Amino acid sequence: TVRFVDPKKHYQAHKKEYDAALEDVLLRGDLILRKDLEKFEKRFAAFVGTKYAIGVNSGFDALHLSLKAAGIGTQDEVITVAHTFVATIAAIVHTRANPILIDVGKDFNMDVEKLKAAITKKTKAIIPVHLNGRICDMEAIGQIAREHNLIVVEDAAQALGAAYTGKRAGAFGLTGCFSLYPFKILGAFGDGGMVTTNSKKMREMLRMLRDHGQDRAKGAVMLYGFNARLDNVQAAILNVKFNYYPSWIKRRREIAKLYYKKLRHIRNLALPHFEGKEYFDVYQNYVIRAERRDALKSYLTRKGIETLISWQKPVHHQKGLNLQHFRLPETVRLCREVLSLPLNTELTDEEIADVCAAIQNFYDTHKS
């Protein structure tokens, strides 16, 4: 079988280092808001290219607390896309603001033309989602935001290390929001998240919001907060993983190139390689658009190849969410066509070749 992700194999490959880091932090008894977290935050901010980074409990918390800290609330409108993980939209709804969903373009990211049309007097913020490890058109989005005096909160949960004209995801907006969920490229052994910002005021707010509203230095409770800290044991693990991060991005880009080389002549597919040499993509996911997608997926499953569909059903068609009034044809079309191929740093070139051969074989033998 070719695994979509392989956490066990990953742990075995780095076991000595992870075990040593765990033993070290546990023997020190450093569990909450300790030096491993501070160190990780510093390294994270330096990597993204912002002054500050604030560790939180999840990507959802990063988004939710960013909006809270920026003062988003009742009556406000926040524009984002429907072609995202539901957490992006949930973060808006939990501030009591209204999510305004727009469609995406060929690169799966926010369609800037649709953005202009969606702005009203109530619009307060935009959340561009850098999907699959590719940055949105931040030049255009930044310009629109400045013209209309809107806050930009980046959903960079899938884009740590992705860049546009050399500037990294999370360094464009008022804040950048990252997920350290186990199956993100940089994943903890549990949940985790991070906010990046250049604003000292946002940093202070976020540090209080994640910690029950406390200002620990003052010994005071300043506001009603949440419990949304990134715990120190996870930070100790993440400090080990972060050493490898550049090499993991390199490998992911290699795998993406390999897929491109072996799949590009199959006319039933559209591959995720888009125009613009100023973009540096990290391939959180390798998402193809495929004719007869569901049959292809079943065929690959029978061949022992794990794939994933993100997302089978557009989020605005989920009945429980009250978003059915949006009309987003490109988002709907994508949900019928997308298929994520295995992409993890444990994969070998041979396994990639097997995946490609199986896809080729499907289209050779299943002529429509």
Ligand X SMILES: *Cc1c(COP(=O)(O)O)cnc(C)c1O
* 158 touches ligand X by CB under 6 A: yes
Nearer to ligand X (CB atom), residue 190 or residue 354: 190
Count residues binding ligand X (CB under 6 A).
15
* 59 touches ligand X by CB under 6 A: yes
Q: Residue 82 CA to chain centroid, in angstroms?
A: 14
Nearer to ligand X (CB atom), residue 25 or residue 157: 157
Integer Cα distance of 297 and 307 in angstroms: 7
What are the C-alpha distances in Å from 221 to residues 53, 95, 210, 213, 236? 22, 21, 12, 5, 28
What are the C-alpha distances in Å from 146 to residues 125, 150, 151, 174, 216? 11, 6, 8, 12, 35
Nearer to ligand X (CB atom), residue 87 or residue 112: 87
293: nearest Cα among 357, 336, 264: 336
Integer Cα distance of 26 and 112 in angstroms: 48
- Part in contact with ligand X (CB under 6 A); list of ranges 83-91, 161-169, 223-231, 267-275: 83-91
* 315 touches ligand X by CB under 6 A: no
* Interface pick for ligand X out of 69, 82, 87, 305 (rule CB under 6 A): 87
Burial 329-358, CB ≥16 within 10 A → b, else e:
ebbbebbebbbbbbbbbbbeeebbebbbeb
* 88 touches ligand X by CB under 6 A: yes
The least distance separating ligand X from the CB of residue 178, rounded to whole angstroms, comes to: 8
Place of tokens 């604003």: 199
225: nearest Cα among 50, 68, 36: 68
* Residue 290 phi, psi dihedral angles, 5° rounding: -130, 135
* Interface pick for ligand X out of 129, 205, 235, 356 (rule CB under 6 A): 129
Integer Cα distance of 28 and 87 in angstroms: 35
- Part in contact with ligand X (CB under 6 A); list of ranges 1-9, 79-87, 105-113, 161-169: 79-87
Nearest residue to ligand X, scored by beta-carbon proximity: 59
227: nearest Cα among 34, 65, 40: 65
* Interface pick for ligand X out of 84, 197, 340, 345 (rule CB under 6 A): 84
* 193 touches ligand X by CB under 6 A: yes
* 65 touches ligand X by CB under 6 A: no
* 342 touches ligand X by CB under 6 A: no
The least distance separating ligand X from the CB of residue 149, rounded to whole angstroms, comes to: 25
Nearer to ligand X (CB atom), residue 72 or residue 263: 72
- Part in contact with ligand X (CB under 6 A); list of ranges 29-37, 58-66, 207-215, 231-239: 58-66
Do the beta carbons of residue 328 and residue 316 sit within 8 Å? yes
- Part in contact with ligand X (CB under 6 A); list of ranges 53-61, 137-145, 275-283, 351-359: 53-61
Residue ranges binding ligand X (CB under 6 A): 58-60, 84-85, 87-88, 129, 155, 157-158, 179, 181, 191, 193
